[in-house]
Structure 1
């Protein structure tokens, strides 16, 4: 009688799982970190250097944010000359909005602010805090040449610092590059909430855990139970495989490194689940009362969908030592070719208000390595392009090449504005890339310069960008 081999008894589903294992491990992040780094999940230490990438989806109006104009100078009767319409008068029906550029209130010991902001940056009513209060942590970069008017291209260009081929992204996301080089000893090095992520040269340990929202993140980290239906055949196989003997087929996969990586991944995921990291993001629990109060989530029956809830997720992931990099979509509804300026400004305001809460929280929380969390965190705020400086016939603004971005926190200079857009049509300006001075014989600033600067701010290799960082920004 033929002797039956153990692997002959293995179900086809199990073999399918083994072959899918590498993809699962990469998407779940947990295959490349030493198990001991996760086994201490009850005593997690925040990363010494953290990064937050904040995306405003749809193409923002920079006149309302980081590149404002004085409406008493750029008047309606000069539009044929300047081709710029601030449109701030259309915001007068809402008392939260200024009808003039916002000059930040000077912070004690920070020096006079060097920058102004558009009306969407924050609530100007007496006693209200807004993002401009943190000018002393900021560098604003204006006049960035996006080289595209296509949403997907501009978006992926800013994520990677490389112009896509067609609409297909090239290279790794900046967060992936950071994790790939730094290899932080945290359970989930990178989280991407409703933001794309790419990895073209690192192992699965550098991949982002991609989730569509906070509820998705909680579900991903939740221990499976009989009460919760299994989400996929792979998850079912994960549970069925626990405690089963090693087979010849698994040994064959292990010889190629897949089995070993899977075994680590399984143990790490079990540890993450056993330590109930998902509870950190359940903001309805009594243990998270302070988070709800800080981010204004009290009274929200389901805070996960709000911008404030997403900002709270970022702070939780960094402060509790769960992640090093978080990429987040903090505002949407900005592709406003139609409608009023108030609609666009309100959509931007929701994102900037949530960002203000996040920065206030991080700079008010002590970091174990000394100073506060903003001393250890670099934030990049961006959109795929900007809106035209003129208003179209339907009351909205169209796509525009010249863009701006905001850098905050560790590794960069503060209270600084660099770059410019033109006073005619807000075209991308020329600067001396060595000094940052406006120079008609200089060069444009492109997204790759921003990405190189972010990497250089942490003393990481930026050679993949094929440009030098903006050294006049670096601290």
Structure 2
């Protein structure tokens, strides 16, 4: 077939733009029948939350604390670890690790937390902490993308799909917006557009995106779409329309119109004066008027998306300001505590809300809390901490065992610990490093999903099945 040189350049440009749009659209690959079934907004039976603390967190203040009576300044030349809890200028922080009070029916906590974990420590009954993770990088972008995908980046470039994309791609949820990525990168290298995350950088973006638009499509675009199905097919059109641009557009338009007419934007508009939004503001301590981009506001957004059956996966940058190479220990701890307290409120909410399938939402939600790497166990000359390979993460909720610690970091310089990956026990002779791919494999396996893309086995000691 010859290329038809008579196709107007404007139309060729339109075809290329439309092909790109349909490849990237959130709704373009979602079967309409599935979306129609989601109109009742039934919550997903299994939900996932990926919580990112950006900047590289201090594990001595978070999930890998040390006893300051053992790791003293006098022994720092030997241990290369300085907890620094006595350097807080804010008396509301403890000067030692937190061991939470025992919860009724849960037994005592097997997890000690750093002073910045604050209110979140009370939820030890739904937690597992993984320590001694070897990030193999000290670069912010690489560490972040490594944890998001479970695959070591190529240079700084992400490799593979986001874990949330993997989950949506495998489970094919019928919720209107399967995945939301708030301030977090998202990737899709092998699934249809329906697995893409709706990416926003602030709460208003989400409200605006879901609000009905008063503007119609350009008349020329409408006409070109109508003509697309009735004119002779040229090589140019065949190539650009190989994915069914015209039919995809019509299906996508109907789906998008149904989403926009469902009033989902109102669910995230916390400034409304309604019983539901007033209760949300009161629960999360939000102001009566926006913006709602605080850590607490972001936590409220996560709860809303899951509880109302709008999304199955939410990835969120909960708090930043952690790349503190200089300054006091208090500034880093304060930023951490802000995030952990907001996360604690989210867990309070999920625990207190019944799920239609039985139990509460926390019973149906798997949560991964991570940062791109950690901070050095020694304080530098400017009273801050630098980048450190050895990381920790927090796993919570469905499909996982709770109230346990897996792995360890060394007592000299908090080096990544070699462990028996089957048990998490220290094994200096034959042990292996825990890597981010082990965590991602564990998250996927917790929902009986295919984890072969990680090319490792999950940490089976953490799984309930």
* Per-residue deviation, residues 107-153 of structure 1 (Å, max 9, x unmatched): 1001111001001111xxxxxxx111110000000000000111111
Q: Deviations over 1:385-432 (max 9, x none)?
A: 000000000010000000000000001100010100011100010110
Structure 2 Cα separation of the partners of residues 238 and 385 of structure 1: 51
CA–CA distance in 1 between the matches of 2:206 and 2:60? 35
Say whether residues 1:139 and 2:115 are aligned partners: no
Shift of 1:40: 5.4
Q: Take 1:17 and 1:290, find their aligned partners in 2: how far apart are those partners?
A: 47
* Partner residue, 2:222: 241
Q: Does 1:49 align with 2:36?
A: no
1:272 aligns with 2:259: yes
CA distance in 2, matches of 1:438, 1:329: 32
Q: Secondary structure at the match of 2:122?
A: helix
2:405 corresponds to: 417
- Matched residue, 2:116: 120
Question: Which residue of structure 2 lines up, in the alignment, with residue 330 of structure 1?
Answer: 318
Gaps of 5+ in 1: 1-7, 123-129, 227-234
8 Å contact kept, 1:339–1:394: yes
Distance 2:223 2:310 in 1: 25
- C-alpha distance in 1 between matches for 2:139 and 2:258: 43
2:396 alignment counterpart: 408
Are the counterparts in 2 of residues 58 and 151 from structure 1 also a CA contact under 8 Å?
A: yes
Residue number in structure 2 paired with 1:434: 422
Rate the CA distance shift 1:70–1:29 in 2: closer, same or farther, 3 A: same
Q: How do residues 71-470 of structure 1 correspond to structure 2 at under 5 angstroms? A: 71-91=68-88, 93-122=89-118, 130-225=119-214, 236-237=217-218, 241=222, 245-248=226-229, 256-287=243-274, 288-299=277-288, 301-441=289-429, 442-470=431-459
CA RMSD of aligned residues (A): 2.1
- Contact in 1 for aligned 2:37/2:174 (Cα 8 Å): no
For the pair 1:68 / 2:49, whether they are aligned, the reply is no
Q: Which residue of 1 aligns with 2:3?
A: none
Instruction: Tell me how many residue pairs correspond in the alignment.
Output: 450
1:330 touches 1:351 (CA, 8 Å); kept in 2? yes
Deviation at 1:304, TM superposition (A): 1.9
In the alignment, the residues of structure 2 paired with residue 135 and residue 13 of structure 1 have an alpha-carbon distance, to the nearest angstrom, of 60
Alpha-carbon separation, structure 1, partners of 2:61 and 2:219: 49
CA distance in 2, matches of 1:342, 1:25: 48
Given that residues 146 and 403 in structure 1 are in contact (C-alpha distance below 8 angstroms), is that contact kept between their aligned partners in structure 2?
yes
Deviation (angstroms), 1:177 = 0.6
Q: Is the CA contact 2:15–2:241 (under 8 Å) kept in the aligned structure 1?
A: no
Q: In structure 2, do the counterparts of structure 1 residues 156 and 271 end up closer, same or farther at CA, with 3 Å as the change threshold?
A: same
**Cα pair distance change 1:315/1:249, threshold 3 Å:** farther
In 2, the alpha carbon distance for the partners of 1:40 and 1:181 equals 18
Check 1:191–1:397 CA distance in 2 against 1; reply closer, same or farther (3 A cut).
same
Gaps of 5+ in 2: 1-5
Q: CA deviation at 1:258?
A: 2.7
